[in-house]
Amino acid sequence: MKLVTDTSNVIKAMIKHPLTYSGIEYSLKTAMKLLINNERF
């Protein structure tokens, strides 16, 4: 369930910094990496 926690943290970060495009882009890339890594198991 770590992925769920990480995803909610990403969403919280996006809500906190809605105007920071680079922050959102980084968060999305991180979320995609987490999802891809999770799919491998």
pLDDT digits (tens, 9 = 90+) for 15-29: 776 666 676 788 788
Instruction: Show Cβ contacts of residue 7 under 8 Å, excluding neighbours closer than 6 positions.
Output: 31, 34
Angle at 3 between CA 21 and CA 12, to 5 degrees: 40
Read off the tokens for 14.
Answer: 């996006």
Q: Confirm whether pTM is higher than 0.75.
A: no
Distance (Å, whole) CA 38 – CA 22? 24
Percent of the chain whose predicted confidence (pLDDT) is above 90? 0
The beta-strand segments (E) located in the chain are: none
Residues in the chain: 41
